[in-house]
Structure 1
């Protein structure tokens, strides 16, 4: 364990690294005496109990990493005293309690990593003050309430993961102001309402996951403007299909395709393996892209090849799971990147979920998406 004498270290010490050292026990309060610290890293140990409030005495602290421990209590308002803090890494602990309302006062913050804990309460509206924040990761936790509209003020954010919490109500339309956002995950919540049309303004999006919610209505056709989008998941919601117009059907032939959705009705034990989201890798043969893709879509993919591509559906290839199945990444022998969804046929709702996903995707018109059944 860290001795209390740790606090007697030189007052000129700038960086203190004791990560992955199998340290057990509590963090001594005396650590707050090292007033000159800029970087504190005690990650990957077996530290327990609360984070000492004396951390708030480290007024010059810029980076704070206590991730992958067994800590149980968040530092609370004391963290708001760290006016130069740029990164918090407290993920993979057992932290409980609320996020402090004053968190937005630490305007120097660039990264907040608090995933895989037991944090409760809501997201304080003051978080909108963190206009230089790049990463916000609160997944998974036990957070409740609504998503504050102030989240739209995080103009510099590139990754926001709020999945697997207990947020309710709708997605604020202000979220459309996040034009630099690349990754947004709001899956497995209790979100209601519709997908705001302002989402189409998030032109930097490559990853958008709204699955496992209670979102209703239709997918806004304006989302076709998201030309960088590579992953889009709205499964297990209450969305319904709107038949595309004849104009939309004719335009589909002109769209540049890089994803393919295929259905495979092979029965294996309690599961059915279904091909979803096949990414067509663009090479240097741009003029031949359309012909090559057409040939690939006619190819039959065997169940054995799917197993090979995903390393027998290994846990290391698992990229997501929901109420009715799991999704695994893989690569075909041709080099094509794929995702394979395995439905649990022991659940009657799994059949309805598959039908719903097909209907929803059929109504979505995007240059990177196509449906082939």
Structure 2
């Protein structure tokens, strides 16, 4: 039985990755930050699943700013694979909190890599890199494209990317960078633009909301489906040698086009309901991110199946279903509406 450690397990990607690894027979350990409110909504359903295999999920309190705690967890768990997904991941927020973003997203990665190196855990390491690192580099972007970050978030991710490569080249760690382009799902946080759009389309159609306020509608993005992208993460750590891979669909939509597909799914014209709000603009914009994932297809056998238009409809459908059942519930595309879990630092079912 393989053992995996996931930082950021309570996020969109972490929840899908936990499901994938449990289905593959792994023992899964997740790191969560202690908070005064429950943060496990995306993974609570795993404890409600009656299958015996799902007794292999364990949660531990920890923080990327605490090297001693990271060392204690690694020595206790001794994982075969480490998936580092935790970060301050909101690009617009990173302009307001650049120091926190650098501390968590950049230096947090270095702390984890250095701890693995110093205590000698023989694990394979996945770093969640981002297409935002390419910034103003013209598309399509691949593994050889120059990096030109245009936000504190992108700069922190670029630092983490190079540190991962440095630990691979200097110390022989099996460390890889997954350069993931935008990937979404019904589990996407409500402050991210795709989920703001899908949720607003559903709520406006049901008479629960009147307007949606957005910033730049001309930004071009390569939007894929998160459950497919975590499969690519896993494949990177099963390869014979460590390397870096772009993960993308190769197709692109503007925010305006994503709006069109989303509102059309509920029979509405988005222009009747969306207004511009300059507060949502970034100080420096990234105009177009379109990935070339041919290397991942060639070497890992991975290829995206769900593209932007279908993704928009999928997300709106999930938000419609959730809003009809409970106007404040977080939609789960593969599980019932989650409930609060017991506030325990380590969860292991007997």
Q: TM-score, normalised by structure 1?
A: 0.24
Higher helix share: 2
**Greater RCO, CA 8 A, separation 6+:** 2
Higher strand share: 1
Q: TM-score, normalised by structure 2?
A: 0.25
